[in-house]
Structure 1
Amino acid sequence: MEIRDVTADDLDAVLDLRKRSFGPLSAGDVATFRKMVHPTLAAGRYLGAFEGGRLAAAARLRPFTQWWHGRPQPMSGVAGVTVSPEDRGRGVGSLIMRAVIERAAVLGDAVSALYPATTPLYRSLGYEHAGAQHRVTLPAESLRTIRPAGNVRLRRMGPDDAAEVIALLHRLYAASRASGPISWGEGIWRLWLAEEDDFLYLADDGFAVYRWDGQDIEVDNVVAGSVETAGALWSLVGTSSSVAKRVKAVVAPDDPVLWLLRERSKETAEQVRWMFRVIDLVEAVARRGWPAALNAAAVVRVEDPLRAGNAGLWRLEFAGGSGAATRETGEAGAPVLSANGFSALYAGVPVATLRRAGLMTGDERHDEVLDAAFAARPYMLDYF
């Protein structure tokens, strides 16, 4: 089995593999896929497993910016992992994903995330459950109780606003010390902002993306940096309540709309879970944001059979909102984390949970520092 970059000449085979794995694509979806995938090909972010020239498996590494405690870093979002039906059960999925992890390291991405179709494969390679995309369903009429406060200027937005939207996300996620959310590159944002059936509105410190879905309203994004803008944007969505019965919205777990509503007794919520892996421990610690008030250190031992550079004894130091990982010797009693365990810790899973799940063992003296340093409530607004 040969692992190599997917090229434009392989796209028909990739689309056939996607159809066999996930079902038929519409003509519009095929056209969108081809538009989106070409930058990925040029950047070496699409890998295939070939046997005698036949495509047996493929996977894409989407280039995202992801925030951790308000600090952005590049992240490989793994998507489109497909294995031909006749090759399943032969270890081909593990083979292509090992290549993906190595390619992420070569590309300089210290962390990676994915939405799993199946958990065991990814967990066996060091990915662990970390956060979720949160979807709430609200009675549309409940948004009518939100009254805009102040004079917030809203305007319709389009493809030429892509750079402004990205800059706005950077400001808002940094200010809120967000963990987990991602942003696409400007080229992809330009495609999203050209959708003719979407309603797109921009304010100085927020924006909204929503559409009709049958008789419901579907909200992709309402992001706001102030109570005035949050009220204005959600009130705007609520103007459809005379026709729409429900609003289905992707929100942060602590989105202000859940506190702006006068009545919350009838909402429903669901989660689409995503998994996360630390690819380069040293860089991941250096690039992450940390609580500015914390000035402490902890020692951990990490076991990572796929990434030898991550394995071993580490001293983690936190000060002034920054962190560093350096090699340590002589700490025989340090807690031990698997690759999965360290990835989950990085994403804010509490130490007590890691210990009860068997992802962390050994000395407990550093537990309180680790909980304080890595505390997070990770989420994503985007599915990929």
Structure 2
Amino acid sequence: MEIRDLTPEDLDATLDLRKRAFGPLSAADVERWRAAVIPVLGEGRYLGAFDDGRLAAAARLRRFTQWWHGRPQPMAGIAGVTVSPEDRGRGVGSGIMRAVIERGVALGDAISALYPATTAIYRGLGYEHAGAQYNVRIPAEALRRIRSSGPVKLRRMGPDDASEIVSVLHRVHGAARSSGPVSWDEQTWRLWLGNPDDFLYLADDGYVIYRWKGEDMEVENVVAASGESLRALWSMVGSASSIARDVIASVAPDDPVLWLLRERSTEQVLQRRWMFRVLDVAAAVERRGYPEQVGCEAVVTVEDPIQGSGTWRLEFGGGSGAATPVEGAGVTLSVNGFSALYAGIPAATLRLTGLMSGDERYDEALDTAFAAKPYMLDYF
């Protein structure tokens, strides 16, 4: 089995593989997929596994920015993992995912995330469940009743606003000390902002992306730095209440809109789980944000059969962290366990599930440093 970068000549075979794995794509979706993929083929972010020249599997590393406690860092978002039906069960999927992990490290990504179709294969490669995309159903009329506390100027936006969107996301997620949300790169934003079926509005410090979904409205993103913009954007979505009964929105687990509603009792929330993996322990620890007041240290051994195991002294202070290789014993975690810990999963949970063992004296320090409630607004 040969694993190599995909080329433009491989795209027809890749589309056929996607159809066999995920179902047929519309002509418009095929066009958008090609427009997104062709410009980045030379970046080494789309791999294929070939059996005697025939494409047997493919996987893509999407270029994302992801926030952890308000600090952004590059992240490899794994998508389009497909294996030909006749090659399933032969280890082809695991093989190409190992190559993806190694490629992510080579490209400088210290962390990676994906939405799994099945847990087992990714857990076996070091990924662990970390967070979710939370989709809540809200009556449109309840959103319409949200009133802005001051005048907010909203305007329609398009592809030329891609850099402004990225800037807004950095301001909002940094100020909120968010963990988990992602941003596409500007090139991809330009492509998405050209979708004629989406309603796109921009404020000075926020934006909304929404669309019709049958008889309901679907909100992909509402992001705002001020309460005034937040109210104005949600109220505008709710203004469709004369036609739409409900709004299905992707929100944070403690999203402010849920506290702006006049009534809350029973809520329908669909969680779409995502998995997470640390690819480079030292770089991932250094690039993450931490609570400013935390000052502590811990010794951890991370067992990673793909990237190699090591023991590290983790030191936290002033909102920053560092990992230094050391000798000795402390807490022992599989790479799955360390990835979950990094994402805020408590030490007690990791110990009960066998992902963490060894010295317990560092547990509270690790819980405090890595505390997070991770979520994503976007699906990929």
Classify the TM-score, shorter chain. Answer: over 0.9
**Distance in 1 (alpha carbons) for counterparts of 2:294 and 2:232:** 36
Q: Distance in 2 between matches of 1:312 and 1:164?
A: 41
Q: What is the deviation of 1:266?
A: 4.2
Aligned to 1:91: 91
Q: Among 324, 327, 334, which residue is 2:325 paired with?
A: 327
Per-residue deviation, residues 167-193 of structure 1 (Å, max 9, x unmatched): 110111111110111000111111111
Mapped partners of 2:268, 2:128: distance in 1: 26
**Letter of the structure 2 residue corresponding to residue 223 of structure 1:** V
Superposition pairs for residues 267-346 of structure 1, below 5 Å? Answer: 267-308=267-308, 311-330=309-328, 332=329, 334-346=330-342
Cα distance in 2, alignment partners of residues 304 and 360 from structure 1: 13
Shift of 1:357: 1.1
Determine if contact 2:144/2:236 at 8 Å carries over to the other structure: no
Matched, 1:376 2:372: yes
TM-aligned CA deviation for residue 218 of structure 1: 0.7
- 1:352 is aligned to 348
Q: 1:365 aligns with which of 358, 361, 366?
A: 361
Figure out how many residues of one structure are paired with residues of the other and give that number. 380
Q: TM-score, normalised by structure 2?
A: 0.99
Does 104-113 or 293-302 show the bigger shift? 293-302
Which residue of structure 2 lines up, in the alignment, with residue 23 of structure 1? 23
In the other structure, the counterpart of 1:235 is 235
CA deviation digits over 1:280-302, x for unaligned, max 9?
00100011111111111111111
Q: Following superposition of structure 1 onto structure 2, how do residues 1-384 of structure 1 map, counting pairs within 5 Å?
A: 1-308=1-308, 311-330=309-328, 332=329, 334-384=330-380
Kindly indicate whether the alpha-carbon contact (under 8 Å) linking 1:70 and 1:175 is maintained by their aligned counterparts in 2. Answer: yes
- Structure 1 residue 265, shift from structure 2 partner: 2.0
Q: How far apart, CA to CA, are the structure 1 residues paired with 2:338 and 2:310?
A: 12
C-alpha distance in 2, partners of 1:305/1:40?
A: 30
Matches of 2:192 and 2:305, distance apart in 1: 39
Q: Deviations over 1:182-232 (max 9, x none)?
A: 000111111111111211111111101111112111101111111111111
Letter in 2 for 1:178: S
- Cα deviation 1:115-150 (Å, max 9, x = unaligned): 000100000000000000000001111112211111
Aligned 8 A contact 1:133 1:379 in 2? yes
How far residue 73 of structure 1 moved from its aligned partner, in angstroms, is 0.5
CA distance in structure 2 between the partners assigned to 1:313 and 1:192 by the alignment: 43
Deviation digits for residues 234-263 of structure 1 (CA, Å, limit 9, x no counterpart)? 111111111111100001111100000001
One-letter code aligned to 2:14: V
Aligned-partner Cα distance in 1 for 2:121–2:267: 34
Corresponding residue SS for 2:250: strand
Partner amino acid, structure 1, of 2:155: R
Relative to the length of structure 1, the TM-score reads: 0.98
Say what the alpha-carbon RMSD is for the aligned residues: 0.8
Unaligned runs of 5+ in 1: none
> What is the rounded CA distance, in whole Å, between the counterparts of 1:50 and 1:383 in structure 2?
28
What stretches of structure 2 of length at least 5 have no aligned partner? none
Contact 1:40–1:62 (Cα < 8 Å) also in 2:
no
Moved over 3 A (4+): none
Give the Å deviation of 1:15: 0.4
Preserved CA contact (<8 Å) 2:70 2:173: yes
Q: Which amino acid aligns with 1:29?
A: D
- 3-state SS of 1:132 partner: strand
Q: Output the CA distance in 2 between the equivalents of 1:87 and 1:369.
A: 46
